[in-house]
Amino acid sequence: MEERKVLLLKFGELFLKGKNKRDFERLLMDNIRRKLTGYDFSMEYTSGRIVIENYEDIEESVIVEKLKTVFGLIGIAKAVEIDGDYENIKKYVSSIKLSGTFRVSAKRADKRFPMTSVELERNLGEVLLNSNENLKVDLHTPKTILYVEVRFNGKCYIYHENIKCAGGLPLGSGGEALLLLSGGIDSPVAGYLMAKRGLKIQAVHFHSYPYTSEQAKEKVITLARELTDYVDEIKLHIVSFTKIQEQIHMNCDSEYMITIMRRIMMRIAEKICERENLGAIITGESLGQVASQTMQSINVTNSVVSLPVFRPLIAFDKEDIMDIANKIGTYETSILPYEDCCTVFLPKHPVIKPTIKRAEHLEKFLNIDALVKEAIETEEVMLIKG
């Protein structure tokens, strides 16, 4: 009886059908292949599962860690692959040593298999009870669940542990969007969450050098690099906001400074999206967190762009955002104490309920088109790879 150690990968239920489903699975496999660059392995697709095999034993745990960050995968099982005929399965199962309580959970993807899943569970349960002393069935809270899956490729996979993965949708399956990446805690988390929904990410960062330091920029580059654990690579647009901030400071009502800054950031972001063919803007805004994130403020900043603006953190508490930042590994970088451009020239009393009318009026004192154009023309672009 031949048995092989493999990794059995599970992906989320696909709402897509037909050709879309196949494209989606192909993309997921491409993403896995890219994530495991440099490792020896082979990969097989079989109805609803991806099987990773022929890898070096000592690399298994690294491979599992890497796969945990591939969006679209919901679970990994370290499984044994054997030929999927019943006699063979029975023989293998009778060699498994178990104690305490257990149940068998069987799946029969291949309906040509001559037993139903329930029959398979019962029969293999019997086999285990006969071959192990001190073993009892417990259907509800067993110590061990033995999973047995007979798949279409004529193979059977046996395992007892599911390793949870990131979930979500394969990176790139939803297109590509532009993340407004500050040096704070929120925006990297917002980027992660949207990437998890299948969006590839480019990022734009606004700096106000020399008011902000070189380290503030380095910090953002580090954050982008940390995000590449999940998104493979990030094209980072670094845009100088210095002149714009000076102009706003000189010409606008101080309580509207942040409102107008944010409207200009959005306009620049939209221009980058047009040029790079990106379908949406992503921000780390959370309702009510600061004056610029009230419903009225969001309306006023939103009104200058026509692309959709995704704000995945809109309903999140700071605590919850921090938890995710910790989990994805960006928190420690985010809390480094460098100035963000939004904190330079910070007004004492930013408006909490701005109006579009007033913002438009104040903007008449600025040459917005020229400022936006110059900012984009002088951007620095970096391709950040993992």
Binding site for ligand ATP (CB under 6 A): 180-182, 184-187, 204-206, 283-285, 289-290, 292-293, 340-342
Q: What would the two tokens of residue 231 be? A: 């998104």
User: Which residue lies nearer to ligand ATP by CB, 63 or 265?
Assistant: 265
CA dist 53 and 272 (Å) reads 42
User: Which residue lies nearer to ligand ATP by CB, 173 or 294?
Assistant: 294
Q: Find the shortest distance in angstroms from Cβ 221 to Mg ion.
A: 16
Q: Find the shortest distance in angstroms from Cβ 266 to Mg ion.
A: 15
Q: Does 202 bind Mg ion (CB under 5 A)?
A: no
**What does 155 interact with, of Mg ion, ligand ATP, none (CB < 5 to 8 A by kind)?**
none
Amino acid at 149: E
Quick one: CA torsion of 188, 189, 190, 192, rounded to 10 degrees? 90
User: Which residue lies nearer to Mg ion by CB, 169 or 341?
Assistant: 341
User: Which residue lies nearer to Mg ion by CB, 81 or 340?
Assistant: 340
> By CB under 5 A, what part of segment 317-356 binds Mg ion?
340
Q: Find the shortest distance in angstroms from Cβ 258 to Mg ion.
A: 11
Q: Residue with CB nearest ligand ATP?
A: 184
User: Which residue lies nearer to ligand ATP by CB, 52 or 264?
Assistant: 264
Q: Find the shortest distance in angstroms from Cβ 328 to ligand ATP.
A: 14
CA dist 32 and 53 (Å) reads 13
Q: Which range binds Mg ion by CB under 5 A, 149-157, 180-188, 238-246, 370-378? A: 180-188
**What does 170 interact with, of ligand ATP, Mg ion, none (CB < 5 to 8 A by kind)?**
none
Q: Find the shortest distance in angstroms from Cβ 362 to ligand ATP.
A: 19
Query: What mask, x for binding Mg ion by CB under 5 A, covers residues 127 to 166?
Result: ----------------------------------------
Q: Find the shortest distance in angstroms from Cβ 305 to ligand ATP.
A: 13
Q: Does 184 bind Mg ion (CB under 5 A)?
A: yes
Give the residue among 182, 172, 381 at the shortest CA–CA distance from 275: 381
**What does 205 interact with, of Mg ion, ligand ATP, none (CB < 5 to 8 A by kind)?**
ligand ATP
**What does 192 interact with, of Mg ion, ligand ATP, none (CB < 5 to 8 A by kind)?**
none
Give the residue among 278, 295, 300 at the shortest CA–CA distance from 359: 300
* Residue of 73, 102, 148, 182 interacting with Mg ion (CB under 5 A): 182
**What does 300 interact with, of Mg ion, ligand ATP, none (CB < 5 to 8 A by kind)?**
none
Q: Find the shortest distance in angstroms from Cβ 229 to ligand ATP.
A: 18
How many chain residues touch Mg ion (CB under 5 A)? 3
User: Which residue lies nearer to Mg ion by CB, 108 or 237?
Assistant: 237
3-class secondary structure for the chain?
CCCEEEEEEEECCCCCCHHHHHHHHHHHHHHHHHHCCCCCCEEEEECCEEEEECCCHHHHHHHHHHHCCCCCEEEEEEEEEEECCHHHHHHHHHCCCCCEEEEEEEEECCCCCCCCHHHHHHHHHHHHHHHCCCEEECCCCCCEEEEEEECCCCEEEEECCCEECCCCCCCCCCEEEEEECCCCCHHHHHHHHHHHCCEEEEEEEEECCCCCCHHHHHHHHHHHHHHHHHHCEEEEEEEECHHHHHHHHHHCCHHHHHHHHHHHHHHHHHHHHHHHCCCCEECCCCCCCCHHHCHHHHHHHHCCCCCCEECCCCCCCHHHHHHHHHHHCCHHHHCCCCCCHHHCCCCCCCCCCCCHHHHHHHHCCCCHHHHHHHHHHCCEEEEEEC
User: Which residue lies nearer to Mg ion by CB, 74 or 287?
Assistant: 287
CB 114 within 8 A of CB 43: no
**What does 285 interact with, of Mg ion, ligand ATP, none (CB < 5 to 8 A by kind)?**
ligand ATP
Q: Find the shortest distance in angstroms from Cβ 284 to Mg ion.
A: 8
CB 110 within 8 A of CB 154: yes
User: Which residue lies nearer to ligand ATP by CB, 82 or 220?
Assistant: 220
Contact residues for Mg ion (CB under 5 A)? 182, 184, 340
